[in-house]
A and B are shown apart, each in its own frame.
Chain A
Amino acid sequence: MYPIIRKRILSDIVKLFEVQAPLVACKAQPGQFVIVRIDETGERIPLTIADFDAQTGVITLIFQEVGKSTTQMGLLEVGDCFANIAGPLGRPTEIANFGTVVMVGGGVGIAPTFPITRSLKQAGNHVISIIGARNENLLFWQDRMERYSDEVIVCTDDGSAGRKALVTEPLKEILSSRNDVARVWAIGPAIMMRFATKTTQPFNVHTIVSLNTIMIDGTGMCGGCRVVLNQGAKFVCVDGPEFDAHQVDWENLLSRLSFYKAEEKVAMDHWNSHRCKLDPAISAAEKEAQELAKASSEGEPAGEAVIHA
């Protein structure tokens, strides 16, 4: 069992957990992920390791509530446990001094971008970060990104924070105005990564995306996570999750991601009706608890969630 030792509500739908998972914490490297299972009936959910501390054995997970499993996960509290956390999985990011790099983190994708940004900065790169979200409420970790970037550009779709723009706009400006960008990382929703890929293509700059295909085992055993690249199919869990963006068949990726749409709705509806039957007051109580938690976390110094080595 893997206990949650800290919970923070980053926005209505984005939550942060610090979880005791010492074996993962002491091995994790930027770019890797874990597979978690909430309980006996739960599915295996891939989540990026947003931060890790070998000393305390703690890993940080940040997730957005998009369906049944992540919504249920959002209801877990400090002291609750995950039934399983397996990892670290996937290949670590290649870290080196490339010169100038651009980090693009969209929405919950800011979380996986952070440890990579930190390592790239520590390796001596000139780091320009672009973080974006639909609105201010969905932004987080700007301060952490600032600490490890030479420049941070914030955008929101509605202009509630930073520039009113999609992350691809500043990305394009940077690539047009300077010719020393060695690599671009773009991490976020598949559709954002696809557009970032399109943006960098004409500039011929090496672009890396971290793919979030549907997974089961996460160890290379089922092939369910496969992605089509120019040279053929690869398993995201063991060959990735990072790939050369310009090789990815995005059409295939997006359609595979939406394959279980109908079932996802069934799962959510089934769970909701079950919950309501169990206790009609539960959602009201939950809401209150959430608000309380949010109020209390706002009182803390913003940002730094884990003291890392």
Chain B
Amino acid sequence: MPKKTIIPLRNPMPEQPPLERVHNFNEVTYGYSAEQAIAEARRCLECAKPGCKAGCPVNVDIRSFLERIEEGDFRSAIDIIKLTNALPAITGRVCPQEVQCEETCLLAKKYEPVAIGRLERFVADWEASEGLSNNPRQVKPSGKKVAVVGSGPAGLTVAADLARTGHQVTIFEALHASGGVLSYGIPEFRLPKSIVKREVDYVCSLGVEIKHDFIVGNTATVDELLETYDAVFLGTGAGLPWFLGIPGENLGGVYSSNEYLTRSNLMKAYRFPDYDTPIAIGRRVVTIGGGNTAMDAARTALRLGAEESIIVYRRSRAEMPARAEEIHHAEQEGVQFHLLTSPLRFFGENGRLTGLECLKNELGEPDASGRRRPVPIADSNFRIETDVAIIAIGQSPSPLISKTTRDLQTAKDGIVTVDKTSMKTSKKGVFAGGDVVTGGATVIMAMGQAKIAASAINEYLETGSW
């Protein structure tokens, strides 16, 4: 039973004013001060059966870490989180808390839930600012070698866990930078790259080696890796962008969200021409989709200097899969939303995009995903003049590895088939986790699966039984 007084509203998050932040790539939110964090943690009702923990995919002991914050013992708070969550500075920022830990917080039934994500971020940032992250213990080398493919959240988590048990771990990464979507997808203003670097550095400090420019499937195949490594973990994500398949899609100025965000984030096109990679800025940018990726693209467009940024989404606002905070921030920044709208065709002149024809929808019966299906309204066509369009409608795993690996089973859309209790694939010695086994999901899901995989890999390396 709640033993504390109820404080209905959460402590607001200090942030850059919208009109200021649309002109820079600095992080939108500043984070709580220690006082704010303690005040927010005090709102927790210290439930005997905390719903929050059950709502977290990796079951962070939220109640305990909130108690430590309330006492001002930030060290213990971060240690509690890190027992099950390897990347709290990141998840605190990007988890969809409103459908996870905060949705199931008791307070959420009537009031605003405890700002668990913000507090998780607070202690993680506190630890970094103290500069005394736990020094890695020396462990006895096991003599076993593990190859991890991909340096996204899944790969980094597996690598850290296995290195801590004494295995020699090498991460193979196709790109020139580590972090996966954390580096090339999620923009600086939402997840500063210095934080990603900190996590990568930590993993390296455990003795993990990262080999960049190494495309598994091309530079070496999984079968070849298995000749030298005792086990392989595939954390290759869902990197294949989907297109709409509508006319005009290949005009200049039509981007996949992957291309647009990779140019801006990974290649730093927002600093062109100090950085070499260009990007089309556009006067009116249209982004198609309603997820985090779409929000990131639409907000990047404004920061690059577009006069207008429009989201075109086929369902209604309630169905948008993006984090609530990102939709809110996008609205604050002046992104316009054309909801219940489907793209029909792109128009262009001299090979360059000039417009997008759309159709209005109304909501019909729920579809397979449980969301109400958009049904086109006849003769509701209209046209948006636009010079840059970004398609952010999802992605699936790249077929590169499945095409070059013997006996690796995949399902629809190239999703690698695994046993969810061990993350074992159909191929002996090969495990997988993250977006490559779920399709585009979340950082915390990738991390959770990586944790399951790491313990199964440990067991496999010990017993040799599959």
User: Which residue numbers of A lie inside 8 Å of B, CB to CB?
Assistant: 23-24, 27, 37, 41-44, 68-69, 83-89, 216-217, 219-224, 226, 228, 233, 238, 251-252, 254-256, 258-260, 263-264, 266-267, 270-271
Interchain residue pairs A-B with the least CB separation, the first 5: A255-B351, A263-B278, A222-B259, A259-B252, A86-B213
A293 CB, nearest partner CB in chain B, Å: 25
CA distance A293 to B151 in the complex (A): 42
Contact B275 A217 (CB under 8 A): no
Question: Which B residue sits closest to A35, measured CB to CB?
Answer: B213
Q: A23-B214, A27-B218 are in contact. Are A226 and B276 (CB under 8 A)?
A: no
Distance in angstroms between the alpha carbons of A84 and B276 in the assembled complex: 15
Among the 9-residue stretches B156-164, B237-245, B453-461, the one with 4 or more Cβ atoms under 8 Å from chain A is B237-245
Instruction: Decide if B212 touches A84 in the complex (CB within 8 Å).
Output: yes
Size category of the B interface is 35 or more
**Does B256 belong to the interface (CB within 8 Å)?**
yes
B382 at interface by CB-CB < 8 Å:
no
B278/A264 in contact, CB under 8 A:
yes
- Cβ–Cβ < 8 Å partners of A233 in chain B: 243, 249-250
A219 with B277, Cβ < 8 A, contacts A84-B176, A86-B174, A238-B400 known: no
Could you tell me the distance between the alpha carbons of A224 and B268 in the complex, rounded to whole angstroms?
16
Q: Which residue of B213, B241, B277, B398 is within 8 Å of A43 (Cβ)?
A: B277
Residues of chain B having any CB pair with chain A under 8 Å: 174-176, 212-215, 218-220, 239-241, 243, 249-253, 255-256, 258-259, 262-263, 267-268, 272-278, 280, 350-352, 398-400
In contact, B352 and A255 (Cβ under 8 angstroms): yes
Complex CA gap A220/B212 in Å reads 17
- Contacting pair B250 A221 (CB below 8 A): no
Q: Say yes or no: A267-B278 contact (C-beta < 8 A), given A86-B174, A216-B267, A220-B240.
A: yes
Q: A216 and B174: CB pair below 8 A?
A: no
Q: Which residues of B are found within 8 Å of A85, using beta-carbon distances? A: 213
Across the interface, B263 reaches (CB within 8 A) one of A37, A42, A69, A216, namely A216
Cβ of B351: which chain A residues have Cβ within 8 Å of it? 251-252, 254-256, 258-259
Q: Are B176 and A88 in contact, CB atoms less than 8 angstroms apart?
A: no
Residue among A41, A222, A251, A270 having the largest count of chain B Cβ atoms under 10 Å: A222
Partner of B218 from the list A89, A221, A226, A266 (CB cut-off 8 Å) is A89
Q: Are A222 and B275 in contact (CB under 8 A)?
A: no
Q: Please, how many angstroms separate the alpha-carbon atoms of A260 and B352 in the complex?
A: 11
Q: In the complex where A222-B241, A259-B253, A263-B272 touch, is A216 in contact with B259 (Cβ < 8 A)?
A: yes
Asked if A220 contacts B273 (CB within 8 A), the reply is no
CA distance A196 to B265 in the complex (A): 39
CB < 8 Å neighbour of B273 from A42, A222, A256, A270:
A270
**B240 CB contact (under 8 Å) in A88, A221, A228:** A221
Contact yes or no, B400 A256, CB < 8 A = no
Which residues of B have CB within 8 Å of A220? Answer: 239-240, 398-400
Pairwise interchain contact A259-B213, C-beta atoms closer than 8 A? no
Contact partners of A87 in chain B: CB under 8 A: 213, 215, 218-219
Bound-complex Cα distance A230 to B424 (A): 40
> Given the known A-B contacts A219-B174, A220-B239, A221-B239, are A256 and B262 also in contact in the complex, defined by CB atoms under 8 Å?
no
Asked if residues A266 and B273 are in contact (CB atoms below 8 Å), the reply is yes
What are 19 A-B pairs at a CB distance below 8 A? A43-B267, A86-B174, A86-B175, A86-B214, A87-B215, A88-B218, A88-B219, A216-B267, A219-B175, A219-B218, A220-B239, A220-B399, A221-B258, A222-B259, A222-B262, A224-B256, A233-B249, A238-B400, A267-B278
Within 8 Å CB of B240, what residues of A?
A: 220-221
Q: Chain B residues near A221 (CB, 8 Å)? A: 239-241, 258, 262, 398
Which of A41, A86, A228 interacts with B276 by CB under 8 Å?
A: A41
A259 touches B259 (CB 8 A): no
Return chain B residues, CB-CB under 8 Å to A41.
Answer: 268, 274-276
